[in-house]
Amino acid sequence: MRQLIALCCCLFGLLSFPIQAAETSRVDALFTELAGAKLKHMELILEQLEEAKGEAILPLFRVLLGGDLYYIKANKNLVGKFDDQGKTLYKQVFNDTLVPNLAKRDVKKIRVNNKLRGYLRNAIARIQLTAKSPSVRESAVRELLSKLDASTVVILEDLYPNEPNKKVKEAMGLALAMHTASQTELAVSNRLVAIETLSTSLENDVRNALTKLTQDDNPAIIKAAQGALEQIAQRAKRFAFVDQLFFGLSLGSVLLLASIGLAITFGVMGVINMAHGEMIMLGAYTTYVVQLIMPNYIDYSIWVAIPAAFLVSGLMGVLIERLVIRHLHGRPLETLLATFGISLILQQLVRTIFSPLNRQVSTPSWMSGSWEINPVLSLTLNRLYILAFALLVFIALVIILKKTSLGLNVRAVSQNRNMAKAMGVKTNWVDAMTFGLGSGIAGIAGVALSQLTNVGPNLGQAYIIDSFMVVVFGGVGNLLGTLVAAFTLGIATKFLEPTTGAVLAAILVLVFIILFIQKRPKGLFPQKGRAAE
Amino acid sequence: MSRLTAWFSEGRSSGKHTLPFVVILLGVTLLASAANLFLPADSALYVSTYTITLLGKYLCYAMLALAVDIIWGYCGILSLGHGAFFALGGYAMGMYLMRQIGDRGVYGDPLLPDFMVFLDWKELPWFWLGMDQFWFAMLMAVAVPGLLAFVFGWLAFRSRVTGVYLSIMTQALTYALLLAFFRNEMGFGGNNGLTDFKEILGFSLQSDSTRISLFIITALLLSVIFVISQRILSSRFGKVVLTIRDAESRSRFIGYRTDRYKVWLFVYSAVIAGIAGALYVPQVGIINPGEFSPVNSIEMVIWVAVGGRGTLIGAVIGALLVNYAKTRFTAIMPDAWLFALGAMFVLVTLYLPKGLMGVYGQLKAKYRPTNAKESQV
C-alpha cells in the first residue's frame, strides 16, 4: 500500500500530496487513539479504521481478534506479539518487521471482549467478501463454510444478489444453502431445496454438514441428506477414478520416455543395449550439472538441459556404437554382455565423479504446484508437463523416422542391410546415427525423470527392466506398440496398486508380461511381412 | 583303474580333462583342510579358517558357473536369471537353519523365527512347515528351483521364445522374485533375509571342523556334479543338445522335440544352481533378497565367459579366477572393481569369445601342431 501511495505521488506530482497526507495523519491519529482506548469506544474507532483503510486494515483486525495486539507504552505505537521457539517477540502489524529490544513491561495489551470479537469476525468476512479480486472473494467464502453464523449469513445474503463473478456467486449460494438446510425452524420445503443445492458440491464442509443433517428430527430431511451424501460420494468416486487414471497415464509417460529410445536401438536396430538405463542416468546428471552452472536461472535451465542431455547421451551412444557394438554385429547375446559391462563402467564413473549419494535437482517454479480442478481432484503440474512432453517426443520421433532421409535410411538398413548397402546407403554411418538418436532420447528421458525421482548412479537400473518389458510387450520394431504398451502397463499398475500394494502390483505386471510373451512371442503388434523373420 | 579312466574320458575330447580336474580339486581341498587342522597357526603353510570359508564360497560359485555353462555354453540359452535358482536353494537351506535356532533367538520363541515374532505373527506359515527336517529342506532346495525352471522353461521353450527375448524374460523373472522377497508379508524375513544361524545337523556353524566339513562336502559335490554333467553332455542327449545350440530349426526338422531337451537341461541346470545355493548359505551365514538382483545373475555369466563357455572346466576356472580377483580388488581399491568387471565384460566379449580355455587351445595348437591336427580329424 505504501509503495502504491509513493507511486501515486510520483505520478500525480505534489498536487495530491496534501490530501494523502491528511488521510494518513487521520489514520495515524486513530491508531494512537486505539492504543489505550476504553472498550466501549473501540468499536467506533475500528469502524472508522475499516472505512478509511478497507482491505489494508485486515492484518490489524486479525491480530486484534487473536488477542495479540499490544502497544508500546512510550510512543503508543501498535505491535503484534508472536512466539518464536518459546520466546515472545513483537513485530510491526502491517509489514511483519521485527521490533527489537522490547520487554514485556514496555508494552501493554489492547483488550477485546466478546462483542468486539464478533464485530471483528464480521468485519474481516465483510472486507474479504468485498475484496477486488474474485479469487480472494471465493476463498473467503470457502473459508466461511466451516464457521457460518447468523451474522455472516446476513452479510452473505446482502452481497449475494450483486455478486458479479459466477464462481463466487455459486460459492455464496452454497454457503447460504448450508445455512438454510441447518435451520430447523425454517419450512421443510426450503430446506429440501437447500439440500438439493448442497448435493452438487464436493466440499468437505458440505459433507460434514450433510452428515449432521442425517441426525435431523424430520424424516424427509434425513432421507434427502442421505440421498445427497450418496450422490456426492458417487461423484467423488468418479473423480477418484480420474485421479487414478491420471497417475496411470503419468507412470505410462515415464515408461514411454524410458523405453522409446530402446524401441529404436533394440526395436529398429535389433541391438540389445543394457547400458540404455545409464544413458537415462547421464541425461539426469546433465540436468544437475546445467543447474549447477546456472543456479540463478533454474526456471530456464530445463531448456538448456534438454538439448545438452540429448548431446551428452547421444555422443556417448555414438562412441559405444563405434567402439564396441560395431564389432559384435550379429551376435546379440555378446552385445548384451558387452553393453552390460559398459553400464557398470558408466555407473562407477558417475559414482566416482559425483559421489554415490543422490543429487538434488530443483524443479522450475513453473513446473511445481498443482492444478486444482475441484476439492477432490488436483493434478500435479510436473506430471502433467511430463505427460505432454513424452507425447511430444514420441511424435517428433515418429516424424524423424517417417519423414526424414535419416529415417528412410534407418528403415532401409533395418529391413535389409545388404540391399541397403548395395544401394549406396552408408550403413556404418546410419548405425552410429541411429544408436546416437536412441541414446540421445534416453538422455532427454533423464531430464524428465530428474524432475520426478532422485538422481543417483542407480537411476537407470531401476528403469532398464521395465523398458525392455514395454518394448517386448508392444512388439519389437513398432513405435506405436511401444506407446500403447507403456500406457497400458502404467495404467494397469496404478489400478492394481490400491488393492495389492505397489510392490505386488509391479510383480503381477511382470508375471503377466512373462506369461503374455509365452502366448504371443512377438508382442502386441507383431511385425508383418518381410520385416518379420 | 584303466576302466575308471576310460569311464571318465568317454565321449568328447574335453572329457579328458575330467580326471585331472577331479584329482586336483580334491587334492587341493584335502591339503588345505589338513593345513588348517594340523599345522600351527604361525606356520608359513597354515591356512586360516577364513580362507577355508572363502574357498568354500568360491567352489559354490564354481558350481553355479557350471550350471550357467551347461545351458549357455552347450545349449545357447543365455539365462540372466540363474541367481534366482541359486537364491531359492539358499532360502531352503536358510529356512532349515532358521528352524534349528529354536528358542535361542533374541525373542526366545521355540517355534517362530525372530523376524516373525517381530512382525507379530502368531503361527508358522504353511511353507515353513517341515523345514525343520534336514532331508525335507534339502529336497526343497532342489525341488523348488527345479519346479520353477520346469514351469518357466516349459512355457518359454514350447512357445519358442529364444535368444535375447528369453534372456530378458529370465531377467524379469529374477527381478520379480527380488521384489517379492523384499516384502515382509512374504514370510522370508524381508529386507534382512535369514541370518544368525547357530548350527547345522547339530554341529555348530562357528566351529572350524564344521567349516572344513562343509568345504570338503562342497568340493566333493562339485566333483560329482562335474562328472555327471560331463557324462550327460557327452551322451546321446548331450549331442542333441549341441545340435540345438548350433542349428535348432534343423534339429527340429530332423525330428527331435527340441523343446523337451531344452526344458530338461534347463531343469537340470536350475537344480545344480539350487544345490550351490544350499551349500553357499551355511558357509557365508546369510541369505537375503540381494541374491536375486539381476546384476548378480549377469555376473555369473561373465565368470563363464572369462573361463570359456562350452567347456565345463572353463566355467569352474572362470568362476574361481574372477571371484579371487574380486576379493583382492575390493580389498585393495573397492572403487576400481566395477571398472575392472565392466572392462572384463567388454574385453572378453570383444577379444576372447572363447575365454581362457580358447586361449589355452590356441597356444596348444601353436606349439603342438601335429597333435592339434589329429584331434581335429
- Provide the grid cell at A371: 492444478
Q: Hunting for cell 504371443 — which residue is that?
A: A520
| CATH class of the domain at B2-376 | mainly alpha
Q: Does A465 touch chain B (CB under 8 A)?
A: yes
| Chain A residue with minimum CA distance to B306 | A337
Task: Report the candidate in B19, B61, B90, B354 with the shortest Cα–Cα distance to residue A334.
Answer: B354
- Provide the grid cell at A55: 482491505
Pick from B160, B168, B170, B179 the residue to mutate for testing the A interface (most A CBs within 10 Å): B168
CB A347 within 8 A of CB A278: yes
Asked casually if ipTM beats, i.e. exceeds, 0.90, the reply is no
CB A229 within 8 A of CB A210: yes
Q: Would you state the pLDDT for residue A403? A: 92
Q: Would you state the pLDDT for residue A22? A: 63
Q: Would you state the pLDDT for residue B149? A: 95
Instruction: Identify the sign of the CA torsion A198, A202, A203, A206.
Output: positive
pLDDT tens-place string over residues B241-270: 999 999 999 999 999 999 999 999 999 999
Give chain A's mean pLDDT. Answer: 82
DSSP state of B97: H
Report how far apart, in Å, the C-alpha atoms of A31 and of each of A96, A207, A523 are.
17, 43, 77
pLDDT tens-place string over residues B169-181: 898 889 889 988 9
Instruction: Name residues whose C-beta falls within 8 Å of residue B266's C-beta, 6 or more positions apart in sequence.
Output: B71, B77, B79, B149, B150, B152, B153, B157
pLDDT tens-place string over residues B21-61: 889 999 998 888 888 888 888 887 888 888 899 999 999 99
Q: Does A338 touch chain B (CB under 8 A)?
A: yes
Give pTM, 2 decimals.
Answer: 0.77
Give CA–CA dist A474/A192, Å, rounded: 54
Q: Which helix (H) or strand (E) holds A449?
A: helix A427-450
CA distance A502 to chain B (A): 10
Q: Would you state the pLDDT for residue B96? A: 93
Whether A152 has a pLDDT exceeding 80, the answer reads: no
In one-letter notation, the amino acid at residue A162 is N
With contacts defined as CB-CB under 8 Å, which chain A residues touch B180? 503-504, 507
CB A283 within 8 A of CB A446: yes
Q: Would you state the pLDDT for residue A3? A: 57
Give chain B's mean pLDDT. Answer: 87
Q: What is the mean pLDDT of residues A181-191?
A: 76
Confidence of residue B377 (pLDDT cuts 50, 70, 90): very low
CA distance A446 to chain B (A): 21
The answer to whether the Cβ–Cβ distance between B172 and A514 falls below 8 Å is: yes
Give CA–CA dist B165/B153, Å, rounded: 13
Confidence of residue A533 (pLDDT cuts 50, 70, 90): very low
Whether A361 has a pLDDT exceeding 90, the answer reads: no
pLDDT tens-place string over residues A211-225: 777 777 777 778 888
- Provide the grid cell at A158: 446482502
Q: Which helix (H) or strand (E) holds A214?
A: none
The answer to whether the Cβ–Cβ distance between B346 and A514 falls below 8 Å is: no
- Ordered by where they begin, the domains of chain A are 31-118 (no CATH), 134-213 (no CATH), 238-363+379-528 (1.10.3470)
Q: Would you state the pLDDT for residue A129? A: 76
- The length of chain A in residues reads 533
Whether A14 has a pLDDT exceeding 70, the answer reads: no
Coil, strand or helix at B287: strand
Cβ burial B175-191 (10 Å sphere, 16+ → b, else e): bbbbbbbbbeebbbbbe
Instruction: Identify the sign of the CA torsion A258, A260, A263, A268.
Output: negative
Confidence of residue B190 (pLDDT cuts 50, 70, 90): confident
CA distance A308 to chain B (A): 26
- The length of chain B in residues reads 377
* Environment class of A514 (CB within 10 Å of its CB; exposed 0-12, middle 13-18, buried 19+): buried
Q: What are phi and psi for residue A98, nearest 5 degrees?
A: -70, 135
Q: Would you state the pLDDT for residue B55? A: 93
Q: What is the mean pLDDT of residues A321-326?
A: 91
Give CA–CA dist A278/A245, Å, rounded: 29
Whether B2 has a pLDDT exceeding 70, the answer reads: no
Q: What is the mean pLDDT of residues B141-170?
A: 89
Q: Would you state the pLDDT for residue A30? A: 77
Q: What is the mean pLDDT of residues B63-67?
A: 96
DSSP state of A265: I
pLDDT tens-place string over residues A275-306: 999 999 999 999 999 999 988 888 888 899 99
Given phi > 0 = left and psi -120 to 50 = alpha, else beta, which region is A64?
A: alpha
Whether A69 has a pLDDT exceeding 50, the answer reads: yes
Give CA–CA dist B75/B240, Å, rounded: 9
Whether B87 has a pLDDT exceeding 90, the answer reads: yes
CA trace torsion B166, B171, B176, B178 (10° rounding): 150
Q: Does A272 touch chain B (CB under 8 A)?
A: yes
Coil, strand or helix at A379: strand
Q: What is the mean pLDDT of residues B136-141?
A: 94
Residue A88 CB coordination number (10 Å) = 12
- Provide the grid cell at A498: 490400491
String of DSSP letters for A395-419: HHHHHHHHHSHHHHHHHHHHH-HHH
Q: Would you state the pLDDT for residue A472? A: 84
A415 vs A321: which has the higher pLDDT:
A321
Q: Would you state the pLDDT for residue A19? A: 54
Confidence of residue A9 (pLDDT cuts 50, 70, 90): very low
Q: Would you state the pLDDT for residue B15? A: 57
Pick from B71, B169, B177, B181 the residue to mutate for testing the A interface (most A CBs within 10 Å): B169
String of DSSP letters for A68-107: -EEEETTT--EEEEEEETTEEEEEETTT--B--S--GGGE
Beta strands in chain B (DSSP E): 194-195, 199-200, 203-204, 286-287
Q: What are phi and psi for residue B274, nearest 5 degrees?
A: -65, -45
Task: Report the candidate in A384, A370, A372 with the shortest Cα–Cα distance to residue A246.
Answer: A384
CA distance B354 to chain A (A): 11
Give CA–CA dist B346/B352, Å, rounded: 10
The answer to whether the Cβ–Cβ distance between A341 and B345 falls below 8 Å is: yes
Whether A399 has a pLDDT exceeding 90, the answer reads: yes
CA distance B76 to chain A (A): 9
Q: Would you state the pLDDT for residue A13? A: 47
Q: Would you state the pLDDT for residue A5? A: 53
Instruction: Name residues whose C-beta falls within 8 Å of residue B326's C-beta, 6 or more positions apart in sequence.
Output: B337, B341
Q: Does A355 touch chain B (CB under 8 A)?
A: no
Q: Does B342 touch chain A (CB under 8 A)?
A: yes
Provide the CB-side half-sphere exposure for B177 (13 A, CA). 24
Task: Report the candidate in B248, B286, B223, B366 with the shortest Cα–Cα distance to residue B87.
Answer: B286
Task: Report the candidate in A210, A177, A259, A236 with the shortest Cα–Cα distance to residue A513.
Answer: A259
Provide the CB-side half-sphere exposure for B159 (13 A, CA). 18
Q: Which helix (H) or strand (E) holds A109?
A: strand A107-109
Q: What are phi and psi for residue B256, nearest 5 degrees?
A: -85, 140
Helix, strand, coil abundance in chain B, percent, nearest 5: 80, 0, 20
Q: Would you state the pLDDT for residue A203? A: 77
pLDDT tens-place string over residues B283-327: 999 999 999 998 899 899 989 999 988 899 999 999 999 999 999
- Provide the grid cell at B108: 526366545
Q: Would you state the pLDDT for residue B376? A: 46
